[in-house]
C-alpha cells in the first residue's frame, strides 16, 4: 500500500518536475516566513529576523537536494542525467566510441549467436502440449548396448502399440525425404512418417483441414498427407483449396487432408518437415520385396509416449520390462544368426524423459557449441581488457575534468557512477548492434552446418532467454571494462591534476595495465592453441589417404523403384544410362554402383575365408558395394593386382569379388589373394555361395573419413541379389561437374524420363562428412586470430602509453648519457616479464583445459606438443614485434624535445 | 539555563516528528519549534534534515499533508498523522523505550 503510494508519488514528481519543484519552494518559503515571524514575536527587528532565519535555513537548493535524495525517483533521475552526460561525452570522442562499440558488437554478437544456437538446440522446450512429460522409448540389449538405442522396426512398434499396459498415447515417427518431382532433377520434401496417434498424442491442432488420425494409419491405407504450415504457405500460398487435392511423393499421389499449425516442426530438434504421411503409406512406396513395414531388421522408427496417469518412472520402466519378452519374442529378425536371435529376445524396453534425449544433431553439435561458447566468451574477455586499457589511457586525459568535478564537491561514488554509466552505455550500444550481428551470424552458421542430406532446421527467433543472456553479458562487460578505470581515474590528488601535471597519477598504478596485457596474452595463447588443434585435426582429416580422387567427380543418385522401372529391366536400364552419360561432352569416364564413398549409407556383414589363421570377431566385418566395371577407373582407385570385372561376370557365372588391400591382408595373410575364396556368414542356417577373389584394389574410405581402414569387398552389379531399387552414377568430368547437370538430364531422359536425379559432387559429399570439424576449425581459427590481434593491439597500446608517460624520464637518462640501445632494452626487459608471465599462464591454462577437446579431435592428442610449442613460439614472436615498435620509439626520444615538453 | 543545542540522536527525528503530530496537526516550522520547545532547547532541528524527513514519512504513508489556515491566517501546509503513522509511532516508542532501558542498564553496570 505505502509502496504503491511511494511509487505513484515518485512517478508524479518525476513527470511533473517543475511543479514538484515549486511545491518544495513553497514549503520552504512558508517555513522561512513562519520562522521570521516567530523571531519578530520574540523581539528581533525585521531585518535581523530575516537574516537569522536565512542563516538557519541555509541555501534553498541544498535543502531541496536533501529532500530529493529522500526519494527513489531521484536515483532514476540522476541515472538519466548520467546517461545524457555520457552520450555527450561519448559523442565528443566519436572515434573512440565507435571503435569500442564495434569491438563489443562483434564480441557480444558472437556470444549471442552461439548462445542462440545453443538455446535452440539444447534448452528450448518442444512446441507441444506438456512437453516435460513426454517419454522417449528405447531398447536395451544387455549384450551390446551401454545405453538405450532409440530406433525400432515397424513390427516392434506394432507390438508396443498393441500392448498399452504401461504407456498411454504411444506414437512412432521417422524423418525421411521423399521426392516431389515426377522424373528429372529430384526435389526433396522433408517427410515425416507418423503413426496414427502422433498428432493427437502431442496435442497438435490443425491450422486447416484435419490432421492424421488412427483411421489414416491402417495397413493397406490410401496414402494421405498433412502439410507443415511453412510448406503450405510456400507451395500453395496458404490456399485452403489445396486440401482435398493431392501431391506426388516418389511418384505416388498422396491426398492432402490438412495443415499443421504454424511453428510446429515435429519433435526432432534440428529437423523440420514439409509433409507428414502415415506409416501405412510406406507400402505404397516400397517395392513388394522390401517392405519396411514388415522387415524385422529395418530400424527406422522412433517411439515416444506419455506416462499412464499416476505411474511413476520406476513403475513405467518395470511394466515395460514386463512386456519386453513378449514384444521382442514376437518379432525376432528371421535371418539373424542363432546367437543374435537369442540376444534379441533378451532386449528390454525403457523410457526416459524426451527432453534429456541427446541424439542426432544434439550429440553432433552439443559439445562443439559448448566449446565455441567458451571460445567466444574468452574473446569477449580479451576485448574487455583492451577496452579497459583504452579507457584507462583516455581517463588520464580526463583527469583535469574529473579533478574539477571532485573539487566542486561531487562525491567519488557519484563520479564512479557517472563513469560506469558511460561504460554501460557503450556496452549496451554494442549489445544492440551485436544482436543484429548475431541474427545474421547464427543463420549463417546453421546454413553452414546443414548438409545436403541433413538440413538443419533450428528455431532461431530471439526468445526471452537469449535476450536475458545478451543483457547479462552486456552488463557484465560494461562493468568489467569500466570498473577498474572508474576507480583508478577518480583516485587523483587534486591540485597537481588541475594544474595539468601529467604525473599526478602515481606510476605504480600504471603497471596494472601491464598485468592486464599479461592476462590477455595468457588467454589468447589458450585460444590460439585450441585453434591450432582444431586446424591440425581438420587438415589431417581433409588430407587423409582416401583411396580415390575426389575432385571433378559428379554423383547422380537415382531411384529406379520410384520411376517404376520393372525389376527385370533395372540393370539394363542402368547400363543404358551409363553409356549415354559416357557420350556427354565433358565426361571423361562413367560408372554406376549401388553405393558411393562416404555417402552415409552402407552394407556390411561378417565374412569367413578358407585361410586357417583368418581374422576373428569384429575383424571379420566387411563392407560391401556393387559396382559396374568403370567404377575404379572413374574414381581413380588403382587396381593393385588381378583383373577388373567384365562382361563374363553374369548372374549365372561364378560369384566374384574385388577386395581392398586390407581385406586381402586380413583374410589371406601371406597367400596370394587372387583365386582365394570367402563366404558371407550363413543366414538362418542357409550357407552362402563361395565368392572368388579376382582382384585387389587400394584401400579406400567407405562410410566415413574418420573410420579405421575398413575391409571392403566389391561385387559386380550383374551379380547383385535383390532388385537394385536405387542406383548411383559416378562421372569423372573434364569441366566443372555441376555445369553438366543440364546435358545429363536430357541424356538420362532419352532412356527414361521418370527417373528422379539427385546431383552432388563427390567433394561436397566428403565435405559434408567433416562439417563439424570444418566449422570448428574455421571458427576457432577466426576467433583465435581475433584474440591474438586484440592481445597484440593491447600490448602495443599499453606499451606505447607507458613509453609516452616515461618520455621525460627517458629524456633525462639520455641527456645524462644513456644510449638508445639501453633505453630500448629497459623497455623490452620490462615487457619480457609480462610476456613470460602471460605465456606461462597461457600454457598452464591450455594444458589444463584442452582435455575437453579430446572427443572433437581427429588423430591428435589434446596436449599435442607440436601444436602447443608452435603456438607459444608464434605468440612470443608476434608479441616481441608488437613490443618492439614502441620500444624503438623510446630509443629515438630526443632529450631536448622530451624535456622541453613541460 | 538551557543546554547548548545538540545534534539529534541518529534516527530519532522521524519519531519526534510523529510524536509532535500525534498531539495535533502542525505545519513545518511549528514542528521544528515544538521539538525545540519540548526538548527545552536541547534539540535544534534545521530545515535541511526536517524536510527530507517529511518527504520520507509522507512516502511511507505515516503522515499526510493538508492545507489549513495558519495562526497568521494564511494558507499553510499542515501535516497530519495517518492511522498507520499512529501505529508506527507506538511501535517506535516501544522500541525506543526498550533501547533506552538497555543502554541505561549498560551504563549503570
Contacts of B73 in chain A (CB under 8 A): none
Residues A94, A793: Cα–Cα separation, whole Å = 20
| Among B45, B49, B50, B52, the residue to mutate for chain A (most A Cβ within 10 A) | B52
A59 touches chain B (CB under 8 A): no
CB spacing of A35 vs B60 below 8 angstroms: no
- A722 assigned to some structural domain: yes
Whether A856 is in a domain gets the answer: no
Q: Does A62 touch chain B (CB under 8 A)?
A: yes
Residues A252 and A219 in one domain: yes
Name the residue among A35, A58, A64 with its Cβ closest to that of B29.
A35
Chain B CB contacts of A57 under 8 Å are: 46-48
Q: Does B37 touch chain A (CB under 8 A)?
A: no
Place of cell 528429372: A184
Question: What pLDDT shows up at residue B2?
Answer: 43
Contacts of A630 (CB under 8 A, 6+ apart): A578, A582, A589, A590, A591, A592
Which member of B29, B60, B74 has the closest CB to residue A31? B29
- Residues A117 and A176 occupy one common structural domain: no
| Domain interval for residue A22 | 2-70
Domain end residue (candidates: A446, A472, A505): A505
Question: What per-residue confidence (pLDDT) applies to B26?
Answer: 86
CB contact under 8 A, A30 and B59: no
Of A47, A70, A93, at which residue does a domain stop? Answer: A70
DSSP string, A200-266: HHHT---SEE----GGG-STTPPPEEEE-HHHHHHHHTT-GGGBTBEEEETTEEEEEEEEPPTT---
**Residue A601 belongs to a domain:** yes
Q: Is A340 in the same domain as A372?
A: no
Give residues with Cβ within 8 angstroms of A570, minimum separation 6: A560, A723, A724, A727
DSSP string, A572-614: HHHHHHHHHHHTSTTEEEEEEES--TTSS---EEEEEES-TT-
Q: CB-CB: which of B49, B60, B77 is closest to A30?
A: B77
Using CB atoms and an 8 Å cut-off, which of residues 49-108 of chain B contact chain A?
49, 51-56, 58-62, 70, 72, 74, 76-77, 84
Beta strand ranges found along A723-882 (DSSP E): 726-733, 756-761
Last residue of some domain: A445, A478, A505? A505
Question: Residue B1: its pLDDT value, please?
Answer: 39
CB contact under 8 A, A34 and B30: yes
Check CB contact of A34 with chain B, cutoff 8 Å.
yes
In this predicted structure, what is the pLDDT of residue A417? 85
Cα separation, A774 vs A163, in Å, equals 46
Give the Cα separation of A169 and A190 in Å (integer): 25
Overall domain count for chain A: 4
Regarding whether A79 and A66 lie in a shared domain, the answer is: no
A34 contacts in B (CB within 8 Å)? 27-30, 70, 76
pLDDT at A458: 79
Q: Which residue of A has its CA nearest to B30?
A: A34
Task: Answer yes or no: do A580 and A720 share one domain.
Answer: yes
Consecutive 10-residue averages of pLDDT for chain A (902 residues): 67 73 83 86 87 83 76 72 82 84 90 90 80 88 80 93 85 91 85 94 92 92 93 91 91 93 85 92 87 90 89 88 91 82 89 70 82 92 88 76 78 83 91 91 86 75 86 91 84 66 51 80 92 91 89 92 87 93 94 92 85 81 94 95 92 93 90 90 76 95 88 93 86 93 91 89 89 88 90 85 82 85 86 89 89 84 87 91 86 77 54
Q: A with B: how many residue pairs have Cβ under 8 Å apart? A: 73
Nearest to B27 among A5, A34, A56 (CB): A34
User: Would residue A872 count as lying in a domain?
Assistant: no
Q: How far is CA A115 from the centre of its chain?
A: 9
pTM, whole model, 2 decimals? 0.75
Say yes or no: A35 contacts chain B, CB-CB below 8 A.
yes
Tell me how close the Cα of B61 comes to any Cα of chain A, in angstroms. Answer: 5
B32 touches chain A (CB under 8 A): yes
Q: Compare CB distances from B59 to A9, A33, A58 and report the shortest one's residue.
A: A9
Q: Which residue of B48, B63, B77 to mutate against A (max A Cβ within 10 Å)?
A: B48
Contact B59 A10 (CB under 8 A): yes
Q: Best mutation site among A28, A29, A67 for testing chain B: the one with the most B CBs within 10 Å?
A: A67
List of domains in chain B: 13-108 (1.10.10.10)
Q: How far is B98 from chain A (nearest CA, A)?
A: 27
Which positions in chain B touch A1 (Cβ < 8 Å)?
61
- Please check whether residues A86 and A32 belong to one and the same domain: no
Question: Which residues of chain B have a CB within 8 Å of the CB of A67?
Answer: 51-52, 54-55
Are both A454 and A567 inside the same structural domain? no
Yes or no: say if B10 and B96 are a contact pair by the CB < 8 Å rule: no
ipTM (interface pTM) = 0.84
User: Is B24 touching A (CB cutoff 8 A)?
Assistant: no
* Residues A185, A47 within the same domain: no
Quick one: closest CA in B to A30, which residue? B76
Instruction: Report the 10 Å Cβ neighbour count for A331.
Output: 20
In a domain, A143, yes or no: no
Residues A207 and A336 in one domain: yes
Do A342 and A374 reside in the same domain of the chain? no
Nearest Cα residue to A715 out of A583, A607, A580: A607
Cβ pair A5:B70 closer than 8 A: no
In-domain check, residue A57: yes
* Residue with the three cell numbers 583535469: A400
Residue A463 backbone class (left: φ over 0; alpha: ψ -120 to 50; beta: rest): beta
Cell numbers for A151: 530406433
- Give contacts of B53 with chain A, Cβ < 8 Å: 70
Same-domain pairing of A290 and A182 = yes
* DSSP result, A30-78: HHHHHHHHHHHHTT--HHHHHHHHHHHH--HHHHHHHHHHTSHHHHHHH
State the pLDDT at residue A324: 92
Closest by CA position to A513, among listed A481, A537, A560: A481
What is the DSSP code (8-state) at residue A280? G
Q: Quote the pLDDT of residue A591.
A: 95
- Domain match, A107 and A171 both: no
Identity of the residue in B33, B51, B60 whose CB atom sits nearest the CB atom of A27? B51
Q: What is the spatial distance between Cα A223 and Cα A279, in angstroms, rounded to a whole number?
A: 9
User: Given an 8 Å threshold on Cβ–Cβ distance, is B46 in contact with A9?
Assistant: no
Packing angle of the helix pair A507-542, A820-849 (nearest 10 deg): 50
SS3 per-residue string spanning A869-887:
HHHHHHHHHHHHHHHHHHH
Amino acid at each position: 500500500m505505502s509502496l504503491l503510494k511511494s511509487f505513484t508519488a515518485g512517478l508524479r514528481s518525476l513527470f511533473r518536475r517543475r511543479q514538484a519543484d515549486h511545491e518544495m519552494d513553497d514549503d520552504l518559503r512558508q517555513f522561512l516566513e513562519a520562522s521570521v515571524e516567530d523571531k519578530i514575536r520574540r523581539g528581533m527587528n525585521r531585518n535581523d529576523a530575516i537574516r537569522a532565519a536565512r542563516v538557519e535555513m541555509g541555501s534553498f537548493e541544498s535543502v531541496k537536494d536533501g529532500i530529493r535524495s529522500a526519494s527513489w525517483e531521484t536515483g532514476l533521475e540522476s541515472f538519466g542525467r548520467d546517461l545524457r552526460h555520457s552520450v555527450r561525452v561519448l559523442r565528443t570522442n566519436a572515434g573512440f566510441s565507435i571503435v569500442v562499440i564495434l569491438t563489443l558488437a562483434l564480441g557480444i554478437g558472437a556470444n549471442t549467436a552461439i548462445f542462440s544456437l545453443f538455446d535452440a538446440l539444447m534448452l528450448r522446450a518442444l512446441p507441444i502440449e506438456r512437453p516435460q512429460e513426454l517419454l522417449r522409448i528405447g531398447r536395451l540389449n544387455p549384450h551390446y548396448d551401454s545405453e538405450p538405442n532409440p530406433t525400432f522396426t515397424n513390427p516392434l512398434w506394432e507390438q508396443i502399440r498393441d500392448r498399452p499396459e504401461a504407456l498411454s498415447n504411444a506414437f512412432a515417427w521417422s524423418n525421411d525425404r521423399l521426392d516431389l518431382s515426377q522424373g528429372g532433377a529430384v526435389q526433396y520434401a522433408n517427410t515425416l512418417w507418423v503413426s496414427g496417434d502422433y498428432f493427437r498424442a502431442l496435442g497438435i491442432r490443425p491450422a486447416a483441414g484435419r490432421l492424421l488420425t488412427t483411421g489414416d494409419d491402417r495397413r493397406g491405407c490410401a496414402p494421405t498427407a498433412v502439410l507443415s504450415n511453412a510448406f503450405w504457405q510456400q507451395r500453395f500460398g496458404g490456399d485452403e483449396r489445396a486440401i482435398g487435392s493431392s501431391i506426388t511423393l516418389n511418384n505416388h499421389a498422396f491426398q492432402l487432408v490438412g495443415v499443421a499449425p504454424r511453428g510446429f516442426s515435429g519433435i526432432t530438434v534440428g529437423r523440420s518437415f514439409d509433409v507428414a504421411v502415415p506409416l501405412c503409406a510406406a507400402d505404397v512406396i516400397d517395392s513388394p520385396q522390401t517392405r519396411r513395414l514388415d522387415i524385422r531388421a529395418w530400424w527406422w522408427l522412433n517411439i515416444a509416449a506419455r506416462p499412464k496417469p499416476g505411474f511413476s518412472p520406476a513403475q513405467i520402466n518395470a511394466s515395460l520390462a514386463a512386456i519386453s519378452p513378449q514384444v521382442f519374442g514376437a518379432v525376432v529378425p528371421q535371418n539373424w544368426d542363432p546367437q543374435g536371435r537369442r540376444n534379441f529376445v533378451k532386449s528390454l524396453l525403457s523410457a526416459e524423459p524426451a527432453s534429456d534425449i541427446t541424439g542426432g544433431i544434439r550429440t553432433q553439435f552439443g559439445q562443439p557449441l559448448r566449446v565455441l561458447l567458451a571460445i567466444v566468451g574468452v574473446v569477449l574477455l580479451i576485448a574487455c581488457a583492451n577496452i579497459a586499457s583504452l579507457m584507462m589511457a583516455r581517463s588520464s586525459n580526463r583527469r583535469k575534468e574529473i579533478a574539477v568535478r571532485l573539487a566542486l564537491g561531487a562525491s567519488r561514488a557519484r563520479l564512479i557512477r557517472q563513469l560506469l554509466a558511460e561504460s554501460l552505455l557503450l556496452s549496451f550500444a554494442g549489445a544492440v548492434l551485436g544482436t543484429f550481428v548475431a541474427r545474421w551470424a547464427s543463420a549463417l552458421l546453421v546454413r553452414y552446418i546443414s548438409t545436403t542430406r541433413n538440413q538443419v532446421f533450428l528455431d532461431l527467433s530471439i526468445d526471452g532467454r537469449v535476450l536475458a543472456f545478451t543483457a547479462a553479458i552486456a552488463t557484465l562487460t560494461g562493468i568489467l571494462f569500466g570498473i577498474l578505470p572508474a576507480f583508478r581515474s577518480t583516485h587523483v590528488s587534486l591540485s597537481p591534476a588541475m594544474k595539468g601535471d601529467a604525473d599526478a597519477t602515481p606510476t605504480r598504478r600504471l603497471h596494472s595495465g601491464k598485468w592486464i596485457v599479461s592476462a590477455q596474452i595468457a588467454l589468447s595463447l589458450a585460444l590460439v592453441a585450441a585453434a591450432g588443434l582444431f586446424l591440425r585435426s581438420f587438415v589431417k582429416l581433409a588430407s587423409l589417404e582416401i583411396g580415390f580422387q575426389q575432385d571433378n567427380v559428379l554423383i547422380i543418385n537415382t531411384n529406379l523403384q520410384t520411376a517404376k522401372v520393372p525389376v527385370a529391366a533395372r540393370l539394363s536400364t542402368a547400363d543404358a544410362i551409363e553409356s549415354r552419360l559416357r557420350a556427354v561432352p565433358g565426361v571423361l569416364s562413367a560408372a554406376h554402383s549401388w553405393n558411393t564413398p562416404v555417402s552415409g549409407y552402407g552394407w556390411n556383414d561378417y565374412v569367413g575365408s578358407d585361410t586357417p589363421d583368418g581374422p576373428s570377431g569384429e575383424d571379420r566385418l566387411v563392407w560391401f558395394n556393387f559396382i559396374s566395371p568403370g567404377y575404379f577407373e572413374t574414381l581413380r582407385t588403382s587396381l593393385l593386382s588381378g583383373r577388373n570385372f567384365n562382361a563374363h561376370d553374369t548372374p549365372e557365372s561364378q560369384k566374384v569379388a574385388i577386395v581392398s588391400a586390407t581385406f586381402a591382408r586380413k583374410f589371406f595373410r601371406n597367400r596370394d589373394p587372387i583365386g582365394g575364396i570367402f563366404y558371407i556368414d550363413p543366414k538362418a542356417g542357409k550357407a552362402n555361395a563361395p565368392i572368388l577373389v579376382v582382384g585387389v584394389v587400394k584401400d579406400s574410405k567407405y562410410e566415413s573419413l574418420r573410420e579405421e581402414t575398413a575391409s571392403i569387398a566389391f561385387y559386380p552389379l550383374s551379380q547383385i541379389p535383390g532388385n537394385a531399387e536405387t542406383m548411383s552414377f559416378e562421372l569423372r568430368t573434364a569441366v566443372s561437374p555441376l555445369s553438366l547437370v543440364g546435358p545429363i538430364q536430357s541424356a538420362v531422359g532419352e532412356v527414361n524420363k521418370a527417373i528422379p536425379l539427385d546431383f552432388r559432387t563427390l567433394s561436397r559429399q566428403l565435405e559434408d562428412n567433416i562439417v563439424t570439424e570444418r566449422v570448428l576449425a574455421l571458427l576457432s581459427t577466426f576467433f583465435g586470430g581475433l584474440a591474438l590481434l586484440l592481445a597484440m593491439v593491447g600490448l602495443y597500446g599499453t606499451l606505447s602509453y607507458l613509453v609516452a608517460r616515461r618520455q621525460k624520464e627517458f629524456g633525462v637518462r639520455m641527456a645524462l648519457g644513456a644510449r638508445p640501445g639501453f633505453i630500448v632494452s629497459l623497455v623490452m626487459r620490462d615487457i619480457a616479464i609480462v610476456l613470460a608471465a602471460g605465456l606461462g599462464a597461457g600454457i598452464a591454462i591450455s594444458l589444463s583445459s584442452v582435455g575437453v577437446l579430446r572427443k572433437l579431435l581427429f588423430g591428435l592428442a589434446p596436449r599435442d606438443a607440436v601444436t602447443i610449442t608452435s603456438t607459444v613460439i608464434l605468440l612470443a614472436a608476434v608479441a616481441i614485434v608488437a613490443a618492439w615498435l614502441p620500444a624503438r620509439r623510446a630509443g629515438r626520444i630526443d632529450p631536448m624535445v622530451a624535456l622541453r615538453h613541460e | 539555563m538551557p543546554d547548548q543545542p545538540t545534534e539529534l540522536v541518529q534516527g530519532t527525528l522521524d519519531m519526534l516528528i510523529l510524536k509532535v503530530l500525534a498531539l495535533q496537526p502542525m505545519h513545518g516550522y511549528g514542528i521544528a519549534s515544538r521539538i525545540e520547545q519540548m526538548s527545552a532547547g536541547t534539540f535544534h532541528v534545521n530545515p535541511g534534515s526536517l524536510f527530507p524527513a517529511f518527504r520520507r514519512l509522507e512516502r511511507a504513508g505515516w503522515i499526510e499533508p493538508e492545507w489549513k489556515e495558519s495562526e497568521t491566517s494564511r494558507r499553510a501546509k499542515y501535516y497530519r498523522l495517518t492511522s498507520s503513522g499512529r501505529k508506527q509511532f507506538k511501535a517506535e516508542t516501544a522500541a525506543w523505550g526498550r533501547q533506552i532501558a538497555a543502554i541505561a542498564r549498560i551504563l549503570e553496570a
